[in-house]
Amino acid sequence: MIFSNFFHKMASPKHFYRIAGRLIPWLAGACLLLVLAGLYYGLLVAPPDYQQGDSYRIMFIHVPAAWMSLFIYVVMAGAGAIGLIWRIKLAEVITISSAPVGASFTFLALVTGSIWGKPMWGTWWVWDARLTSELILLFLYLGVIALHSAIEDRRMAARAVAILALVGVINIPIIHYSVEWWNTLHQGPTVTKFDKPSIHLSMLIPLLLMAVAFKLYYVFVVLMRARCEVLERERNTVWVRELAEEK
Amino acid sequence: MTPKRRQRMLLIASMVIGVGIAAGFALKAFNENLMFFYTPTAVVAGEAPADHLIRVGGLVTTGSVQRKSDGLTVTFDITDNKDTITVQYTGILPDLFREGQGIVAHGRLQGDSLFVADEVLAKHDENYMPPEVADALKTVHEEGSRGTVVTTD
């Protein structure tokens, strides 16, 4: 009961605005600490790789960014489905607030991958299944952002965006399994598989620290964006006016 | 759950499943085009088109790398541990190129088993470890194989 009460309260824009505002500084602080720890262990403590030397260290940005690009898309599509079925405004807000963050992580994954590819593979870019499907993911995010800004009515826009996000969700398993289904230049999975990770513990720890830090980053940035979106949507309500008068 | 919500949920589920099935068929149809390179086995079996620019990928066979006198032309064998083809390439090899390394070469087949490449890319695997651990693994491996030799003798 308490649990469902909590969710009903959170789904009300007013309570969400207040609670998110309190959470953001803590999440941001924890994120900063984890990034610093991850960078310290990743760049200074972790040993060089037996094959790639020090160049492999770009993985501590590349891999968490790529994981986030998939994770955020699933959250976006999931929130889209909840918004479509239950017509919960907050779910619509989360869907559209996630898109720019996801697009940024996808772009970061593509750019760091390219920078990593040049010295290791010998090329900036190839059209193999993994790279191509990740590029399609970037276009899906950009499509979601463009579609949202093309429709004037926010609730209509949220519905259209949710459907696009749900259609695109099929790309997520394709990206993940691309390296197993087809021959690619990109390597196979190191961590995200059923076997034990084929990475030494001293390198795995900074990777996971960075992964958690990136997750926290997403949560606090999406909460910030969602607060703005809530204020804009509710600008004609009493509580937003009272809030504006207080300031 | 109200009937209306259930209906919307079913609609969304069927949309996602429908798109999934369509994507599955499309990917199955284009399966061969989605392969980034041909394996030596596929080339030997004649599955790779002759007189077309293609990519082949495999592990560089130990002891097969030979440099021509011009200093830039290299020939080496690549294998998928079943079949082997010879690759000839003129140019600068990537840093990761070495015997036992996975590579992908872009070029054209000439004759039955010679592949003339205009680009060679290195493919690294999913293993990451410190050099000491790699050395230790190698030593254990060598001792292990020596051990079996002793016991079979």
Report DSSP state, residue B75.
Answer: E
CA angle A145, A151, A154 (to 5 degrees): 90
Residue A216 CA to residue A223 CA, distance in Å, equals 11
**Distances in whole angstroms, Cα of residue A239 to Cα of each of A15, A235, A243, B24, B135:** 10, 9, 6, 49, 66
Tell me the three state secondary structure of residue B38: strand
Q: Which pLDDT belongs to residue B149?
A: 40
Say yes or no: A45 contacts chain B, CB-CB below 8 A: no
Q: Which pLDDT belongs to residue B143?
A: 65
Q: Which pLDDT belongs to residue B126?
A: 87
Q: Which pLDDT belongs to residue B91?
A: 87
- Six-digit token string for B128: 């990451």
**Can you say how many angstroms the Cα of residue B128 is from the centroid of all Cα atoms in its chain?**
18
Which is more confident, B141 or A69?
A69
The CATH code of domain B36-123 reads 2.40.50.140
pLDDT in tens, A114-125: 999 999 999 999
Looking at chain B, the whole-number percentage of residues with pLDDT higher than 90 is 42
pLDDT in tens, B8-33: 999 999 999 999 999 999 999 988 88
Q: Where are the domains of chain B?
A: 3-32, 36-123
Q: Is 0.90 exceeded by the ipTM? A: no
Q: Where are the domains of chain A?
A: 23-45+55-186+203-246
Please compute the mean of the pLDDT values over residues A68-86 and round it to a whole number. 96
Interface A-B, measured as beta-carbon pairs within 8 A, has a size of 114
**Chain B residues inside the 8 Å CB shell of A200:** 128-130, 133
Please compute the mean of the pLDDT values over residues A193-212 and round it to a whole number. 91
pLDDT in tens, B104-132: 999 999 877 789 999 999 998 888 999 88
**Chain A residues inside the 8 Å CB shell of B120:** 122
pLDDT in tens, A175-188: 999 999 998 999 99
Contact check, Cβ <8 Å, A190/B127:
yes
Residue A116 CA to residue A122 CA, distance in Å, equals 9
Q: Which pLDDT belongs to residue A2?
A: 61
Say yes or no: A160 contacts chain B, CB-CB below 8 A: no
Say yes or no: A48 contacts chain B, CB-CB below 8 A: yes
Contact check, Cβ <8 Å, A50/B34:
no
CA angle B23, B47, B65 (to 5 degrees): 115
